[in-house]
Structure 1
Protein backbone atom coordinates (compact mmCIF):
# COMPACT_ATOMS: atom_id res chain seq x y z
CA UNK A 1 0.00 0.00 0.00
CA UNK A 2 2.82 2.39 0.81
CA UNK A 3 4.24 1.91 -2.67
CA UNK A 4 1.07 3.46 -4.15
CA UNK A 5 1.14 6.68 -2.16
CA UNK A 6 4.12 8.30 -3.93
CA UNK A 7 2.60 7.45 -7.33
CA UNK A 8 -0.68 9.13 -6.45
CA UNK A 9 1.20 12.12 -5.09
CA UNK A 10 3.14 12.47 -8.34
CA UNK A 11 -0.06 12.26 -10.38
CA UNK A 12 -1.67 14.98 -8.28
CA UNK A 13 1.41 17.16 -8.68
CA UNK A 14 1.44 16.60 -12.44
CA UNK A 15 -2.27 17.48 -12.69
CA UNK A 16 -1.69 20.68 -10.71
CA UNK A 17 1.26 21.75 -12.86
CA UNK A 18 -0.54 21.03 -16.13
CA UNK A 19 -3.68 22.81 -14.91
CA UNK A 20 -1.53 25.86 -14.08
CA UNK A 21 -0.02 25.83 -17.56
CA UNK A 22 -3.47 25.61 -19.12
CA UNK A 23 -4.85 28.48 -17.05
CA UNK A 24 -1.86 30.70 -17.78
CA UNK A 25 -2.33 30.20 -21.52
CA UNK A 26 0.60 27.98 -22.48
CA UNK A 27 -1.71 26.17 -24.92
CA UNK A 28 -4.66 27.42 -26.98
CA UNK A 29 -8.10 25.80 -27.07
CA UNK A 30 -8.13 23.18 -29.83
CA UNK A 31 -4.35 22.85 -29.78
CA UNK A 32 -2.72 19.43 -29.62
CA UNK A 33 -0.79 19.10 -26.36
CA UNK A 34 2.81 17.88 -26.23
CA UNK A 35 3.22 14.12 -26.32
CA UNK A 36 3.61 12.04 -23.16
CA UNK A 37 7.39 11.63 -23.63
CA UNK A 38 7.84 15.39 -24.06
CA UNK A 39 5.75 16.24 -21.01
CA UNK A 40 7.52 13.56 -18.99
CA UNK A 41 10.90 15.13 -19.76
CA UNK A 42 9.64 18.67 -19.12
CA UNK A 43 8.21 17.75 -15.72
CA UNK A 44 10.81 15.17 -14.73
CA UNK A 45 8.29 12.37 -14.20
CA UNK A 46 7.46 9.05 -15.85
CA UNK A 47 5.28 8.64 -18.91
CA UNK A 48 2.83 6.55 -16.85
CA UNK A 49 2.39 9.45 -14.44
CA UNK A 50 1.76 11.82 -17.34
CA UNK A 51 -0.78 9.38 -18.77
CA UNK A 52 -2.68 9.15 -15.48
CA UNK A 53 -2.60 12.95 -15.07
CA UNK A 54 -3.99 13.35 -18.60
CA UNK A 55 -6.86 11.01 -17.73
CA UNK A 56 -7.71 13.18 -14.72
CA UNK A 57 -7.69 16.29 -16.92
CA UNK A 58 -9.88 14.51 -19.48
CA UNK A 59 -12.32 13.52 -16.73
CA UNK A 60 -12.49 17.13 -15.54
CA UNK A 61 -13.30 18.27 -19.07
CA UNK A 62 -10.16 20.30 -19.74
CA UNK A 63 -8.59 17.83 -22.17
CA UNK A 64 -9.91 15.54 -24.88
CA UNK A 65 -7.95 12.34 -25.51
CA UNK A 66 -8.26 11.13 -29.10
CA UNK A 67 -7.10 7.55 -29.49
CA UNK A 68 -4.21 7.32 -31.92
CA UNK A 69 -4.06 11.09 -32.36
CA UNK A 70 -3.07 12.63 -29.03
CA UNK A 71 -4.57 14.95 -26.43
CA UNK A 72 -6.18 18.29 -27.23
CA UNK A 73 -7.11 21.24 -25.04
CA UNK A 74 -10.92 21.49 -24.89
CA UNK A 75 -11.32 24.57 -22.70
CA UNK A 76 -9.37 26.95 -20.48
CA UNK A 77 -12.26 27.22 -18.02
CA UNK A 78 -11.63 24.66 -15.31
CA UNK A 79 -14.90 22.85 -14.46
CA UNK A 80 -13.29 21.05 -11.52
CA UNK A 81 -15.69 22.44 -8.92
CA UNK A 82 -18.71 21.18 -10.84
CA UNK A 83 -17.09 17.77 -11.19
CA UNK A 84 -16.26 17.68 -7.47
CA UNK A 85 -19.84 18.59 -6.59
CA UNK A 86 -21.08 15.70 -8.72
CA UNK A 87 -18.62 13.32 -7.08
CA UNK A 88 -20.08 14.14 -3.65
CA UNK A 89 -23.68 13.26 -4.55
CA UNK A 90 -25.30 10.26 -2.88
CA UNK A 91 -26.32 7.12 -4.82
CA UNK A 92 -29.96 8.23 -4.65
CA UNK A 93 -29.07 11.69 -5.96
CA UNK A 94 -27.08 10.06 -8.76
CA UNK A 95 -30.11 7.95 -9.73
CA UNK A 96 -32.37 11.00 -9.72
CA UNK A 97 -29.94 12.87 -11.95
CA UNK A 98 -29.63 9.96 -14.35
CA UNK A 99 -33.44 9.74 -14.64
CA UNK A 100 -33.66 13.44 -15.46
CA UNK A 101 -30.64 13.67 -17.74
CA UNK A 102 -30.12 10.26 -19.28
CA UNK A 103 -33.67 8.99 -19.77
CA UNK A 104 -34.90 12.23 -21.32
CA UNK A 105 -31.86 12.48 -23.59
CA UNK A 106 -32.39 8.90 -24.75
CA UNK A 107 -35.97 9.79 -25.62
CA UNK A 108 -34.67 12.61 -27.81
CA UNK A 109 -32.09 10.25 -29.33
CA UNK A 110 -34.88 7.96 -30.49
CA UNK A 111 -36.37 10.86 -32.43
CA UNK A 112 -33.16 12.38 -33.77
CA UNK A 113 -30.69 9.52 -34.27
CA UNK A 114 -28.94 9.13 -37.60
CA UNK A 115 -27.71 5.98 -39.33
CA UNK A 116 -24.20 6.96 -38.27
CA UNK A 117 -25.34 7.17 -34.64
CA UNK A 118 -26.78 3.66 -34.91
CA UNK A 119 -23.53 2.27 -36.31
CA UNK A 120 -21.56 3.81 -33.46
CA UNK A 121 -24.00 2.45 -30.88
CA UNK A 122 -23.85 -1.06 -32.32
CA UNK A 123 -20.05 -1.00 -32.25
CA UNK A 124 -19.98 0.22 -28.65
CA UNK A 125 -22.53 -2.36 -27.53
CA UNK A 126 -20.58 -5.15 -29.20
CA UNK A 127 -17.42 -4.02 -27.38
CA UNK A 128 -19.30 -4.01 -24.06
CA UNK A 129 -20.71 -7.49 -24.61
CA UNK A 130 -17.22 -8.97 -24.69
CA UNK A 131 -16.46 -7.71 -21.17
CA UNK A 132 -19.75 -7.99 -19.27
CA UNK A 133 -18.81 -11.25 -17.58
CA UNK A 134 -15.11 -10.38 -17.42
CA UNK A 135 -12.98 -7.51 -16.14
CA UNK A 136 -15.10 -4.84 -14.41
CA UNK A 137 -12.92 -1.88 -15.41
CA UNK A 138 -12.88 -2.94 -19.07
CA UNK A 139 -16.66 -3.35 -19.09
CA UNK A 140 -17.33 -0.02 -17.38
CA UNK A 141 -15.04 1.77 -19.83
CA UNK A 142 -16.89 0.27 -22.82
CA UNK A 143 -20.30 0.81 -21.24
CA UNK A 144 -19.60 4.51 -20.70
CA UNK A 145 -18.78 4.85 -24.41
CA UNK A 146 -22.15 3.28 -25.25
CA UNK A 147 -24.04 5.56 -22.87
CA UNK A 148 -22.22 8.66 -24.07
CA UNK A 149 -23.12 7.78 -27.65
CA UNK A 150 -26.74 7.36 -26.58
CA UNK A 151 -26.69 10.90 -25.23
CA UNK A 152 -24.79 12.23 -28.24
CA UNK A 153 -27.49 10.80 -30.51
CA UNK A 154 -29.86 13.41 -29.08
CA UNK A 155 -27.74 15.98 -30.97
CA UNK A 156 -27.87 18.49 -28.13
CA UNK A 157 -24.31 19.69 -27.31
CA UNK A 158 -25.35 20.90 -23.85
CA UNK A 159 -26.71 17.47 -22.89
CA UNK A 160 -23.60 15.76 -24.26
CA UNK A 161 -21.31 18.05 -22.28
CA UNK A 162 -23.30 17.63 -19.06
CA UNK A 163 -23.16 13.87 -19.39
CA UNK A 164 -19.40 13.93 -19.93
CA UNK A 165 -19.03 15.71 -16.59
CA UNK A 166 -21.49 13.33 -14.95
CA UNK A 167 -19.93 10.16 -16.40
CA UNK A 168 -17.54 9.85 -13.46
CA UNK A 169 -20.51 9.43 -11.13
CA UNK A 170 -22.04 6.85 -13.48
CA UNK A 171 -18.72 4.99 -13.64
CA UNK A 172 -18.42 4.84 -9.85
CA UNK A 173 -22.00 3.58 -9.53
CA UNK A 174 -21.44 0.87 -12.14
CA UNK A 175 -18.24 -0.33 -10.51
CA UNK A 176 -19.89 -0.40 -7.09
CA UNK A 177 -22.89 -2.35 -8.36
CA UNK A 178 -20.86 -4.86 -10.33
CA UNK A 179 -18.62 -5.51 -7.33
CA UNK A 180 -21.52 -6.20 -4.96
CA UNK A 181 -24.37 -7.59 -7.07
CA UNK A 182 -24.19 -10.79 -9.18
CA UNK A 183 -24.11 -9.92 -12.87
CA UNK A 184 -27.42 -10.51 -14.58
CA UNK A 185 -27.57 -11.07 -18.33
CA UNK A 186 -31.07 -9.60 -18.39
CA UNK A 187 -29.61 -6.30 -17.14
CA UNK A 188 -27.10 -6.21 -19.97
CA UNK A 189 -29.81 -7.19 -22.47
CA UNK A 190 -31.66 -3.97 -21.61
CA UNK A 191 -28.93 -2.10 -23.50
CA UNK A 192 -29.80 -3.94 -26.69
CA UNK A 193 -33.49 -3.33 -26.13
CA UNK A 194 -32.85 0.40 -25.71
CA UNK A 195 -30.88 0.41 -28.96
CA UNK A 196 -33.71 -1.44 -30.73
CA UNK A 197 -36.23 1.14 -29.46
CA UNK A 198 -34.01 3.94 -30.74
CA UNK A 199 -33.74 2.22 -34.12
CA UNK A 200 -37.55 2.06 -34.22
CA UNK A 201 -37.76 5.73 -33.14
CA UNK A 202 -39.93 4.70 -30.19
CA UNK A 203 -39.08 7.47 -27.72
CA UNK A 204 -41.44 6.38 -24.94
CA UNK A 205 -40.21 2.78 -25.00
CA UNK A 206 -36.59 3.92 -25.04
CA UNK A 207 -37.19 6.15 -22.00
CA UNK A 208 -39.06 3.40 -20.14
CA UNK A 209 -36.27 0.89 -20.77
CA UNK A 210 -33.67 3.46 -19.72
CA UNK A 211 -35.46 4.03 -16.42
CA UNK A 212 -35.58 0.25 -15.85
CA UNK A 213 -31.84 0.00 -16.53
CA UNK A 214 -31.03 2.83 -14.12
CA UNK A 215 -33.01 1.12 -11.36
CA UNK A 216 -31.53 -2.32 -12.02
Structure 2
Protein backbone atom coordinates (compact mmCIF):
# COMPACT_ATOMS: atom_id res chain seq x y z
CA UNK A 1 0.00 0.00 0.00
CA UNK A 2 1.82 3.15 -1.13
CA UNK A 3 1.68 6.02 1.31
CA UNK A 4 0.10 9.26 0.15
CA UNK A 5 2.37 12.24 -0.40
CA UNK A 6 2.06 14.67 2.50
CA UNK A 7 1.30 18.37 2.29
CA UNK A 8 3.94 20.89 3.30
CA UNK A 9 2.23 21.95 6.55
CA UNK A 10 2.53 19.81 9.67
CA UNK A 11 4.78 17.32 7.91
CA UNK A 12 5.80 15.43 11.03
CA UNK A 13 2.20 15.07 12.26
CA UNK A 14 1.07 13.93 8.82
CA UNK A 15 3.91 11.44 8.61
CA UNK A 16 2.98 10.10 12.05
CA UNK A 17 -0.65 9.70 10.99
CA UNK A 18 0.25 7.88 7.79
CA UNK A 19 2.75 5.55 9.44
CA UNK A 20 0.27 4.80 12.22
CA UNK A 21 -2.42 3.99 9.67
CA UNK A 22 -0.07 1.72 7.75
CA UNK A 23 0.60 -0.21 10.96
CA UNK A 24 -3.07 -0.32 11.87
CA UNK A 25 -4.01 -1.63 8.42
CA UNK A 26 -1.39 -4.38 8.68
CA UNK A 27 0.90 -3.03 5.97
CA UNK A 28 3.74 -4.05 8.30
CA UNK A 29 2.72 -6.87 10.69
CA UNK A 30 3.84 -6.99 14.30
CA UNK A 31 7.45 -8.07 14.50
CA UNK A 32 8.28 -6.98 10.97
CA UNK A 33 10.94 -4.41 10.17
CA UNK A 34 9.57 -1.31 8.47
CA UNK A 35 11.29 0.29 5.44
CA UNK A 36 14.44 2.32 5.94
CA UNK A 37 14.42 6.08 6.45
CA UNK A 38 15.35 6.82 2.82
CA UNK A 39 12.60 4.52 1.53
CA UNK A 40 9.97 6.05 3.82
CA UNK A 41 11.11 9.57 2.95
CA UNK A 42 10.64 8.80 -0.73
CA UNK A 43 7.23 7.20 -0.19
CA UNK A 44 5.99 10.07 1.97
CA UNK A 45 7.59 12.80 -0.08
CA UNK A 46 9.36 14.34 2.91
CA UNK A 47 12.89 14.68 4.24
CA UNK A 48 14.65 12.06 6.30
CA UNK A 49 14.57 14.31 9.38
CA UNK A 50 10.77 14.36 9.19
CA UNK A 51 10.68 10.57 8.98
CA UNK A 52 13.11 10.31 11.87
CA UNK A 53 10.91 12.52 14.07
CA UNK A 54 7.78 10.56 13.15
CA UNK A 55 9.44 7.23 13.92
CA UNK A 56 10.76 8.57 17.21
CA UNK A 57 7.26 9.70 18.22
CA UNK A 58 5.73 6.33 17.35
CA UNK A 59 8.46 4.49 19.23
CA UNK A 60 7.72 6.58 22.32
CA UNK A 61 4.03 5.69 22.02
CA UNK A 62 4.88 1.99 21.81
CA UNK A 63 3.89 1.25 18.20
CA UNK A 64 7.45 0.94 16.94
CA UNK A 65 10.69 -0.32 18.42
CA UNK A 66 13.99 1.12 17.24
CA UNK A 67 16.81 -1.43 17.44
CA UNK A 68 20.14 0.27 17.08
CA UNK A 69 22.12 -1.19 14.21
CA UNK A 70 19.24 -3.40 13.12
CA UNK A 71 16.30 -1.21 12.09
CA UNK A 72 12.83 -0.28 13.30
CA UNK A 73 10.22 -2.94 13.99
CA UNK A 74 6.45 -2.92 14.55
CA UNK A 75 5.76 -3.52 18.23
CA UNK A 76 1.99 -2.99 18.47
CA UNK A 77 -0.97 -1.99 16.32
CA UNK A 78 -2.24 0.84 18.52
CA UNK A 79 -1.01 3.21 21.21
CA UNK A 80 -3.15 1.36 23.76
CA UNK A 81 -1.56 -1.95 22.87
CA UNK A 82 1.87 -0.38 22.99
CA UNK A 83 1.20 1.05 26.43
CA UNK A 84 -0.10 -2.32 27.63
CA UNK A 85 3.21 -3.91 26.64
CA UNK A 86 4.98 -1.43 28.89
CA UNK A 87 2.55 -1.89 31.78
CA UNK A 88 3.60 -5.02 33.59
CA UNK A 89 4.77 -6.10 37.00
CA UNK A 90 5.47 -3.26 39.44
CA UNK A 91 4.44 -0.57 36.91
CA UNK A 92 0.94 -1.98 36.53
CA UNK A 93 0.67 -2.33 40.29
CA UNK A 94 1.57 1.33 40.74
CA UNK A 95 -1.03 2.41 38.19
CA UNK A 96 -3.73 0.40 39.96
CA UNK A 97 -2.70 1.83 43.32
CA UNK A 98 -2.90 5.40 42.05
CA UNK A 99 -6.23 4.67 40.36
CA UNK A 100 -7.58 3.33 43.65
CA UNK A 101 -6.55 6.46 45.53
CA UNK A 102 -8.23 8.83 43.08
CA UNK A 103 -11.24 6.72 42.16
CA UNK A 104 -12.28 5.96 45.73
CA UNK A 105 -12.33 9.64 46.65
CA UNK A 106 -14.01 10.43 43.34
CA UNK A 107 -16.75 7.91 44.06
CA UNK A 108 -17.30 9.34 47.55
CA UNK A 109 -17.71 12.85 46.17
CA UNK A 110 -19.89 11.63 43.30
CA UNK A 111 -22.34 10.03 45.73
CA UNK A 112 -22.80 13.42 47.38
CA UNK A 113 -22.70 15.79 44.41
CA UNK A 114 -24.02 13.87 41.39
CA UNK A 115 -26.90 15.22 39.32
CA UNK A 116 -29.60 13.40 37.39
CA UNK A 117 -27.77 14.25 34.16
CA UNK A 118 -24.65 12.67 35.62
CA UNK A 119 -26.52 9.44 36.22
CA UNK A 120 -27.80 9.37 32.65
CA UNK A 121 -24.24 9.73 31.35
CA UNK A 122 -22.93 6.98 33.63
CA UNK A 123 -25.72 4.59 32.67
CA UNK A 124 -25.12 5.17 28.95
CA UNK A 125 -21.39 4.56 29.35
CA UNK A 126 -21.97 1.30 31.22
CA UNK A 127 -24.33 0.12 28.48
CA UNK A 128 -21.69 0.91 25.85
CA UNK A 129 -18.98 -0.69 27.96
CA UNK A 130 -20.92 -3.91 28.45
CA UNK A 131 -21.82 -4.06 24.75
CA UNK A 132 -18.18 -3.72 23.77
CA UNK A 133 -17.26 -6.57 26.11
CA UNK A 134 -19.96 -8.88 24.76
CA UNK A 135 -18.85 -8.17 21.20
CA UNK A 136 -15.19 -8.75 22.15
CA UNK A 137 -14.19 -5.25 21.08
CA UNK A 138 -11.62 -5.08 23.85
CA UNK A 139 -9.93 -1.87 22.73
CA UNK A 140 -13.30 -0.09 22.73
CA UNK A 141 -14.06 -1.72 26.07
CA UNK A 142 -10.88 -0.29 27.58
CA UNK A 143 -11.57 3.17 26.21
CA UNK A 144 -15.18 3.30 27.43
CA UNK A 145 -14.35 1.77 30.81
CA UNK A 146 -11.72 4.46 31.35
CA UNK A 147 -14.24 7.10 30.29
CA UNK A 148 -16.75 5.70 32.78
CA UNK A 149 -14.27 6.03 35.64
CA UNK A 150 -13.34 9.56 34.57
CA UNK A 151 -17.04 10.46 34.50
CA UNK A 152 -17.51 9.04 38.00
CA UNK A 153 -14.74 11.31 39.23
CA UNK A 154 -16.23 14.25 37.31
CA UNK A 155 -19.59 13.61 39.00
CA UNK A 156 -17.98 14.78 42.24
CA UNK A 157 -17.71 18.24 40.65
CA UNK A 158 -14.26 18.81 42.09
CA UNK A 159 -12.41 20.46 39.22
CA UNK A 160 -8.90 19.82 40.51
CA UNK A 161 -9.49 16.11 41.19
CA UNK A 162 -11.14 15.70 37.80
CA UNK A 163 -8.24 17.32 35.97
CA UNK A 164 -5.71 15.26 37.91
CA UNK A 165 -7.53 12.10 36.89
CA UNK A 166 -8.01 13.29 33.31
CA UNK A 167 -4.25 13.62 33.02
CA UNK A 168 -4.01 9.86 33.62
CA UNK A 169 -6.54 8.93 30.92
CA UNK A 170 -4.06 7.16 28.66
CA UNK A 171 -2.44 5.12 31.40
CA UNK A 172 -5.83 4.26 32.94
CA UNK A 173 -7.04 3.03 29.54
CA UNK A 174 -3.89 0.95 29.17
CA UNK A 175 -4.31 -0.56 32.64
CA UNK A 176 -7.90 -1.53 31.80
CA UNK A 177 -6.74 -3.15 28.57
CA UNK A 178 -3.94 -4.93 30.43
CA UNK A 179 -6.39 -6.51 32.85
CA UNK A 180 -9.17 -7.25 30.34
CA UNK A 181 -9.40 -10.77 28.97
CA UNK A 182 -11.12 -14.09 29.37
CA UNK A 183 -9.38 -14.82 32.69
CA UNK A 184 -10.64 -11.60 34.27
CA UNK A 185 -14.19 -11.42 32.92
CA UNK A 186 -15.71 -11.76 36.39
CA UNK A 187 -13.36 -9.17 37.82
CA UNK A 188 -14.35 -6.69 35.12
CA UNK A 189 -18.00 -7.00 36.17
CA UNK A 190 -17.25 -6.13 39.81
CA UNK A 191 -17.82 -2.61 41.09
CA UNK A 192 -19.54 -1.05 38.07
CA UNK A 193 -23.32 -1.51 38.16
CA UNK A 194 -23.03 -1.62 41.92
CA UNK A 195 -21.01 1.58 41.88
CA UNK A 196 -23.62 3.32 39.74
CA UNK A 197 -26.40 2.14 42.07
CA UNK A 198 -24.51 3.47 45.09
CA UNK A 199 -23.96 6.85 43.48
CA UNK A 200 -27.60 7.02 42.42
CA UNK A 201 -28.67 6.24 45.99
CA UNK A 202 -26.24 8.84 47.36
CA UNK A 203 -24.72 6.11 49.51
CA UNK A 204 -21.14 7.35 49.95
CA UNK A 205 -19.98 4.39 52.05
CA UNK A 206 -21.16 1.86 49.51
CA UNK A 207 -19.74 3.93 46.63
CA UNK A 208 -16.33 3.88 48.32
CA UNK A 209 -16.57 0.13 48.87
CA UNK A 210 -17.61 -0.53 45.28
CA UNK A 211 -14.93 1.75 43.80
CA UNK A 212 -12.14 0.21 45.84
CA UNK A 213 -13.37 -3.36 45.73
CA UNK A 214 -12.73 -4.29 42.12
CA UNK A 215 -9.32 -2.60 42.14
CA UNK A 216 -8.41 -4.49 45.30
CA UNK A 217 -9.41 -7.67 43.48
CA UNK A 218 -7.21 -6.81 40.52
CA UNK A 219 -4.29 -6.05 42.84
CA UNK A 220 -4.77 -9.32 44.71
CA UNK A 221 -4.74 -11.26 41.44
CA UNK A 222 -1.56 -9.47 40.46
CA UNK A 223 0.01 -10.53 43.75
CA UNK A 224 -0.95 -14.14 43.19
CA UNK A 225 0.16 -14.46 39.57
CA UNK A 226 1.64 -11.43 37.79
CA UNK A 227 1.85 -13.42 34.57
CA UNK A 228 -1.91 -13.91 34.57
CA UNK A 229 -2.36 -10.49 33.06
Question: 1:87-126 counterparts in 2 under 5 A?
Answer: 90-126=91-127
Question: 1:39-50 counterparts in 2 under 5 A?
Answer: 42-44=9-11, 45=14, 48-49=17-18
The 3 A distance-change label for structure 1 pair 139 and 40 is farther
Deviation (angstroms), 1:180: 7.1
Correspondence for 1:206: 207
Deviation (angstroms), 1:166: 1.4
**Superimposed CA distance per residue, residues 17-49 of structure 1 (whole angstroms, 9 cap, x where no aligned partner):** xxxxxxxxxxxxxxxxxxxxxx96523436944
Structure 2 residue runs without a partner (length 5+): 22-53, 58-86, 218-229
**Count of matched residue positions in the alignment of Structure 1 and Structure 2:** 148
Question: 1:33-182 counterparts in 2 under 5 A?
Answer: 42-44=9-11, 45=14, 48-49=17-18, 90-133=91-134, 134-179=136-181, 181-182=183-184
TM-score by length of 2: 0.56
Bigger Rg, structure 1 or 2: 2
Given that residues 132 and 188 in structure 1 are in contact (C-alpha distance below 8 angstroms), is that contact kept between their aligned partners in structure 2?
no
Q: Provide the secondary structure at the position in 1 that maps to 2:168.
A: helix
Deviation (angstroms), 1:172: 1.6
**Superimposed CA distance per residue, residues 30-88 of structure 1 (whole angstroms, 9 cap, x where no aligned partner):** xxxxxxxxx965234369449989xx9xxxxxxxxxxxxxxxxxxxxxxxxxxxxxx89
Distance 1:98 1:132 in 2: 21
Distance 1:113 1:40 in 2: 47
TM-score by length of 1: 0.59
Q: Let me know the Cα RMSD of the aligned residues.
A: 3.2
Deviation (angstroms), 1:113: 0.2
